[in-house]
Structure 1
Amino acid sequence: MTAHASPPTAGRSPAATAFDALHTRHAAALTRQAHLLTGQPRLARRAVEHGFHLAWQRWPEVAVAPDPAGWVRAAVYDHALRPWHRLVPGGRAGGRLGPPDDADRALREAITALPAPYRRVLLLHDGLGLGLYATAAEVEASTRAAAGRLTHARDLLAARLPGLGLAGQPPARQGEILRDRLAALLTGPADDGAATGEPPPTGAQVRAGGERSARRTTRAVFGSTGLFALVTLSVAVAAPDHYAALPVPPVAKAPANREPGSGTSRAVHRTPPDQARLLPEVR
């Protein structure tokens, strides 16, 4: 009888197996894309881990999405391009991904010098080959706005890198030139940790990290809710349980009428005008 090795998916749920497969297929490519977007290898690694953390936390949604890889890619790009990452000191340290060719390095630097919206559209359209409509949908912009960003990105690259040969070319030819150049940056060897000094995490490690992050978020929410309830209770206990009635101001009274020549005063009954007209003496 021939012995059969244990299947690699033993002990994992179908969801975990599908997630690990998605991570295995796309994590390295997404890391290269995030590095091209940011110029920071460590930030690229963190962005990819963040994207897969979110994907595992929302796996029922991601699993039925038309393009699960595209869902993760959008999450990775969103995190990688957040503006406050520029404030982290030493963010660009840590090595490079891809070939160390001088021309490629110059292209990387020129791309990372572009405004973030231009970078994203350029990478999606000219780097990954998405159509203009799909690119616009992913960046949540109109087709016209996405086309404008792409045109401006190409013009800026043409001005900064004359050697690319973009200047004076029609848009279709510019796209072909950039597609060929970006392919060399996006299809290089997989990230083996040389750039950051750490081996890339496995799908199981990413799943575990996503679950820890979800638990921390849940504890923080419950902690904030408990703190709010405690403050509310403290205020209720410290507040007085009864209130003194406000003093009623005295009512001013008109002085009593005095008869002429008398030292005493008596109230004089005044008949309302309407009743006065009904008296016989007046008729």
Structure 2
Amino acid sequence: MLLRALDVTVPAQRTGGSGRGQAPPRPAPAPTPAAAFDALYVYAAPGLVQQARLLTGSRRLAFEAVEHAFRGAWERWPEVARDSDPVGWVRAAAHTYALSPWHRLRRFPGRTCSARMPQDDPLLRSLLRLPPRQRRAVLLCDGLGLSTGEAAAETEAGTAATTGRLRSARAALDAPSGSLASRLAREPACTLAQPWSVRESTERRAVLMTRTVWAVVAAFALLVTAVVLTSPS
């Protein structure tokens, strides 16, 4: 498991003699929530940006989707830390956000639609022609190696529906088998925000939201009081 990479042991202090009576190595304290989150971010975020880029055709939206997913993970960190697959949890959140229909109403400077895609990138052209659900299914199965059942569970769809989407996507893609996996493997590295900045921005947003809610409640209470005081008895 990824988070076990943070578990280290502290060697026992050496003493003279043959080593009899030495204390066994003491396990290090469990990683803090911040350290565990940072490890997950460093491990998973670069690959998720590449995946979201293939799903959307937009670098800006890809970064936004991944940051949104990790903000949600930090807000629900006890739940995500106990999940059997933290990477899968964040991946599902990033893919869902990236393919949200409301993004069609927005303009992204870095976005390239399939009609204007460069001719030297036929794989991305073919991907963006697919319906979003087919695009996600083929990325999960052919790009990341998930089984049909695993992809169905992650996308909250039936296995039969996922199988049909995958079959249709493979038939429509103008690319040889295995090209998605090799594309993800050779995607260039990208510069990401530091994990601590994602945590801090999430906490600031939570504080701002709390203050906003209290301000609305206070304003409503004042309005009700004013109505009661000014209404005829």
TM-score range, shorter chain: 0.7 to 0.9
* Structure 1: segments with no counterpart, 5+ residues: 1-12, 95-99, 166-176, 194-199, 242-283
Contact 1:31/1:191 (8 A) holds in 2? no
* 1:6-55 deviation line (CA, Å, top 9, x unaligned): xxxxxxx7111111000110110000000000000000001101111111
After TM superposition, give the deviation of residue 222 of structure 1 in Å: 2.0
1:106 maps onto 2:104 in alignment: no
Contact 1:32/1:185 (8 A) holds in 2? no
Contact 1:28/1:190 (8 A) holds in 2? no
The residue number in structure 2 matching 1:182 is 180
Change over 3 Å in CA distance of 1:237–1:191 after alignment to 2: farther
Bigger CA radius of gyration: 1
Aligned length: 198
The residue number in structure 2 matching 1:146 is 162
Higher helix share: 2
Change over 3 Å in CA distance of 1:189–1:136 after alignment to 2: closer
* 1:59-94 deviation line (CA, Å, top 9, x unaligned): 011000000111111111111111121222244349
Counterpart code for 2:77: W
User: Sequence identity of aligned pairs in percent?
Assistant: 44
Give the counterpart of 2:97 among 65, 71, 79: 79
The residue number in structure 2 matching 1:228 is 220
> Which range moved further: 131-140 or 147-156?
147-156
Change over 3 Å in CA distance of 1:189–1:152 after alignment to 2: closer
Contact 1:29/1:190 (8 A) holds in 2? no
* Structure 2: segments with no counterpart, 5+ residues: 1-30, 113-117
Change over 3 Å in CA distance of 1:72–1:90 after alignment to 2: closer
The residue number in structure 2 matching 1:277 is none
Give every structure 1 segment of 4 or more consecutive aligned residues whose post-TM-superposition deviation is greater than 6 Å.
Answer: none
TM norm structure 1: 0.65
The residue number in structure 1 matching 2:134 is 118
1:49 maps onto 2:67 in alignment: yes
* 1:106-143 deviation line (CA, Å, top 9, x unaligned): 11121122111111111111111111111111111111
TM norm structure 2: 0.79
Give the counterpart of 2:202 among 183, 203, 210: 210
What is the alpha-carbon root mean square deviation over aligned residues? 1.9
Change over 3 Å in CA distance of 1:132–1:207 after alignment to 2: same
Contact 2:53/2:59 (8 A) holds in 1? yes
